[in-house]
Amino acid sequence: MDVISVIRTKRDRGELSPEQIDWVIDAYTRGVVADEQMSALAMAILLNGMNRTEIARWTAAMIASGERMNFDALSRPTADKHSTGGVGDKITLPLAPLVAACGAAVPQLSGRGLGHTGGTLDKLESIPGWRALLSNEEMLNVLDTTGAVICAAGDGLAPADKKLYALRDVTGTVEAIPLIASSIMSKKIAEGTGSLVLDVKVGTGAFMKTIEDARELASTMVALGTDSGVKTVALLTDMSTPLGLTAGNALEVRESVEVLAGGGPQDVVDLTLALAREMLDAAGIKDADPEKALADGSAMDVWRRMIAAQGGDPDATLPVAREQHVVTAPKSGVLTRLDAYDIGVAAWRLGAGRARKEDPVQAGAGVELHAKPGDTVTAGQPLLTLHTDTPEKFEYALQTLGGSYDISAAGTSFTANPIVLDRIA
């Protein structure tokens, strides 16, 4: 077996054999296959795809590259959630403690930013002292004592995915449906959760731009989970406009805390509650009321315990970028479009994301929104505030934002997309 023949098979639109898949995943994990060779194979997969047999075997090989966890000792049923990535998607932060407050255990293994989309771990690391890296023993302890844990997958859990995940981010291969599905599901199946709710984003700010592609990805992942004994359901949710009013690490933590305190933007609250209800139903918890858990402060209590249990200070002041630049409305009227992808790229260019897999991120960088589609704006009023520690990045970000919004005449009617577009089980 050699890597060149594997690359050529997929380059020439052939089907990878089970033996080729098992070998290339194992060899890449051990360092026998180089990053540039796996990059070539990933691009061939993006361009030529994989069939269901190949995807299932690729996922199994990723799982087999490491260990599997087990939560049978917990007194609560487990429920997890995964988002395919969006702009302003801070939903995991209020969702995990909310579902825990309603009686489930939430083992949330999360990732870092990919391309223009934010990463949950990058966001939480803006909280002073908070640790993403936990041993399996520490993870189980936090989960048992607080009901929820948000952390990085350990080195022993699907290590092949950890290497490939970082490589995809910097080689233009993030959008490949087979690689998205196998990356997500290999970690979730190896993690050992009893049930899983997938938030599959659709729109300009998502990796899946069309509802058809999103359904294909969701169906693939639901099948992978179900076949592995994990009760799996997917919601297709809108990502044409950023979620909430912030895109950036500390900015999104601040907004998440507002949601847990009973406030926050309505779209973030609505999606958090929709996913919470799905997770509780999948876990077999029928009598809990997540809306009440937000209102009475019990979700906030779990958040504070969870952050403290991972070394963070829930009362600490969050980082603020040293420089700001305000983008104002050029005319009066109704804001009818605010492109999620452009906002995500601008936040990335300001320092909230990475150009190389080893790059650091700026905790305070990002974009703050002062209006959403459907709002009436006045010429000269703030539309966006850009945040960064490096002001030379403003010009680069502003290049992206020039065509990112439309303002129509006053009185123009506007109907927003529903936040949940479809459900696949």
Residue among 22, 89, 122, 161 flagged as catalytic: 161
Residue among 183, 195, 228, 404 flagged as catalytic: 183
Q: Is 131 a catalytic residue?
A: no
Of 348, 354, 357, 356, the C-alpha closest to 387 is 348
| Contacts with 183 (C-beta within 8 Å, 6 or more apart), sequence order | 62, 161, 164, 165, 168
Residue among 82, 304, 305, 387 flagged as catalytic: 82
Of 237, 200, 186, the C-alpha closest to 82 is 200
Per DSSP, 323 falls in state E
Q: Is 325 a catalytic residue?
A: no
| Contacts with 232 (C-beta within 8 Å, 6 or more apart), sequence order | 195, 196, 197, 198, 221, 222, 224, 225, 226, 425
DSSP for 29-75, written as a single string: HHTSS-HHHHHHHHHHHHHH---HHHHHHHHHHHHHTS-----TTSS
| Contacts with 181 (C-beta within 8 Å, 6 or more apart), sequence order | 55, 59, 217, 220, 221, 224
Residue among 168, 188, 215, 277 flagged as catalytic: 168
H or E segment to which residue 137 belongs:
helix 136-146
Q: Is 161 a catalytic residue?
A: yes
**Distance of alpha carbon 201 from alpha carbon 300, whole angstroms:** 26
Residue among 81, 90, 112, 187 flagged as catalytic: 187
Q: What angle do CA 225, 179, 228 make, to 5 degrees?
A: 15
Amino acid of residue 80: D
**Distance of alpha carbon 192 from alpha carbon 72, whole angstroms:** 9
| Contacts with 359 (C-beta within 8 Å, 6 or more apart), sequence order | none
Helix (H, G, I), strand (E, B) or coil at 305: helix
| Contacts with 112 (C-beta within 8 Å, 6 or more apart), sequence order | 119, 121, 122, 354
Q: Is 183 a catalytic residue?
A: yes
Q: Is 82 a catalytic residue?
A: yes
How do strand 231-238 and strand 195-202 relate by DSSP bridges?
parallel
Check if the beta carbon of residue 117 is closer than 8 Å to that of residue 249: no
Task: Cite the active site residues.
Answer: 82, 161, 168, 183, 187
